C-alpha cells in the first residue's frame, strides 16, 4: 500500500470525524485519550462516543426508564426533601421525688431534622468562641448547675458570677438565632405533697407528651424524643402508653379527651448529656423556667435571674400554654405549670 494512499485514507477518516463530532458548526474533534481539541497520530482519529442519557435517580437505568418515568422519579425525590421530623431534646431540673428541690421541671428544645447539621455546626462555632473568650473546653459539659456554682468542668477556670451569667445568657439568646423552639413543664411539688399518689416525674412527662402530641398532630409531622439518661424504662413506658391512651383535660370545662400521640415515632432515645449540646441547652431551659417562677434571693448576684427566660425571645414555644395565657391566668409564655 503506497504512502499517498494511506495519507488520503487518513484525511478521509479525519473529515468524517469532523462531521460526526462537530456537525454543521465544524468544531474541532476531541481526542478520546487526551481530551484535547485536536488530533494526534498516536491517539488516532476515532470519534468521541456520545454520553449516555442521565440515569434514573431511582432505578439508575437510563435505558429502561423513559423521560416520563424519570420525571416521575425526580418528583418523588424532590418530595422527599419536604419531609420534616421534629427532634425533641428533653432534660430535667430538680429531684423527681418529693424531697429536695421545690419543683420538678422538664425543659424541651425542638429542632427540625432538616436544620440539625447547620444547628450543630453553629453550636460548635459557639463553643469555640467560649473557649477563646472564657477558656471553656469545646467538649466540656455546660449545665445550669455547673454555671450556678462554678463546678464541673468550670471548676478550675476561676470564672466570676458575672462571667458565668454571660455564658448562660448567650446560650439562651442562641436558641432564637438557631431557629429553635423551647418550652418547659414545671411541677410545684409543694402543692401536691399531701397527695403523694402523684409522681412529679410522671405528671411532668404526661404534660410534656400532651404538648408534643399537639405539635406533631397540628403540623402533621412525625416527632422523636431524645432525653437525658436516667429512668429510661419509665419514660419509655409513659411514651408507649401515650400512643394509645393520652388523656388531656378540657380547658373550657369538665371532662377529658383521648388524644393518642400517633406521630411520636420510635421509643425515646436516651443519651448522655455530656455528649449532646442540645441536651445541655434543654437543661438550661428547664432551670431558667424554674427561676422565672421562683426568683433567686435579692442579696445574691444571680447567675440565672428571673428575667433569663425572656432571653429566649422568639424561640419560646408559646403554644405550649396558649390557652392558659389567653384566659387571663397568671402564666408565662412557654411555661406549663401544675398545679396552677
d(CA 87, CA 273): 15
Cell numbers of 176, please? 432564637
Band (pLDDT 50/70/90 cuts) for residue 35 is: low
- Taking 70 as the threshold, does the pLDDT of residue 318 lie above it? yes
pTM listed for this prediction: 0.75
Q: Is 192 exposed, middle or buried (0-12, 13-18, 19+ CB in 10 A)?
A: middle
d(CA 205, CA 11): 84
Task: Supply the pLDDT for residue 25.
Answer: 43
Cell numbers of 6, please? 494511506
Average pLDDT, the chain: 81
pLDDT in tens, 69-125: 556 555 545 544 456 899 999 999 998 888 888 999 999 999 999 999 999 999 999
pLDDT in tens, 169-196: 999 999 999 999 999 999 998 888 776 6
pLDDT in tens, 111-142: 999 999 999 999 999 999 999 999 999 999 99
CA dihedral 139→140→142→143, nearest 10 degrees, is 110
d(CA 11, CA 221): 67
Total count of residues recorded for the chain: 340
Q: Which domains does the chain have, with CATH numbers?
A: 1-51 (no CATH), 53-82 (no CATH), 86-338 (3.30.420.10)
Residue 197 neighbours by CB under 8 Å, 6+ apart: none
Question: Between β-strands 335-338 and 181-188, what pairing exists: parallel, antiparallel or unpaired?
Answer: parallel
| 3-state helix/strand/coil string of 327-338 | CCCCCCCCEEEE
Q: Please tell me what DSSP assigns to residue 53.
A: P
Task: Supply the pLDDT for residue 191.
Answer: 84
Smallest Cα–Cα separation from 151: which of 303, 325, 26? 303
d(CA 60, CA 55): 5
Cell numbers of 59, please? 432505578
Amino acid at each position: 500500500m503506497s504512502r499517498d494512499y494511506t495519507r488520503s485514507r487518513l484525511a478521509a477518516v479525519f473529515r468524517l470525524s469532523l462531521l460526526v463530532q462537530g456537525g454543521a458548526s465544524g468544531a474541532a474533534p476531541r481526542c478520546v485519550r487526551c481530551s484535547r481539541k485536536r488530533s494526534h497520530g498516536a491517539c488516532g482519529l476515532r470519534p468521541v462516543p456520545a454520553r449516555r442519557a442521565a440515569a434514573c435517580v431511582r432505578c439508575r437505568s437510563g435505558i429502561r426508564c423513559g423521560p416520563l418515568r424519570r420525571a416521575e422519579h425526580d418528583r418523588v425525590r424532590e418530595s422527599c426533601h419536604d419531609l420534616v421530623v421534629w427532634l425533641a431534646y428533653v432534660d430535667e431540673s430538680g429531684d423527681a421525688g418529693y424531697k429536695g428541690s421545690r419543683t420538678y421541671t422538664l425543659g424541651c428544645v425542638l429542632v427540625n431534622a432538616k436544620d440539625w447539621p447547620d444547628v450543630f455546626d453553629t453550636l460548635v462555632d459557639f463553643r469555640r468562641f467560649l473557649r477563646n473568650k472564657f477558656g471553656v473546653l469545646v467538649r466540656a459539659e455546660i449545665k445550669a448547675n455547673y454555671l450556678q456554682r462554678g463546678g464541673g468542668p468550670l471548676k478550675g477556670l476561676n470564672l466570676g458570677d458575672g462571667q458565668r451569667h454571660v455564658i448562660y445568657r448567650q446560650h439562651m439568646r442562641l436558641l432564637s438565632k438557631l431557629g429553635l423552639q423551647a418550652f418547659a413543664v414545671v411541677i410545684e411539688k409543694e402543692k401536691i405533697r399531701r397527695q403523694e399518689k402523684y409522681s412529679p416525674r410522671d405528671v411532668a412527662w404526661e404534660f410534656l407528651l400532651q404538648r408534643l402530641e399537639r405539635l406533631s398532630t397540628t403540623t402533621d409531622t412525625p416527632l422523636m424524643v431524645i432525653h437525658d439518661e436516667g429512668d429510661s424504662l419509665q419514660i419509655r413506658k409513659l411514651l408507649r402508653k401515650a400512643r394509645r391512651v393520652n388523656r388531656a383535660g378540657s380547658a373550657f370545662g369538665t371532662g377529658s379527651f383521648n388524644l393518642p400521640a400517633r406521630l411520636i415515632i420510635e421509643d425515646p432515645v436516651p443519651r448522655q448529656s455530656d455528649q449532646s449540646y442540645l441536651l445541655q441547652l434543654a437543661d438550661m431551659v428547664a432551670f431558667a423556667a424554674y427561676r422565672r417562677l421562683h426568683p433567686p434571693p435579692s442579696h445574691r448576684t444571680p447567675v440565672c435571674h428571673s428575667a433569663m427566660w425572656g432571653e429566649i425571645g422568639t424561640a419560646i414555644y408559646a403554644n405550649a400554654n396558649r390557652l392558659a395565657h389567653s384566659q387571663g391566668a397568671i402564666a408565662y409564655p412557654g411555661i406549663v405549670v401544675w398545679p396552677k
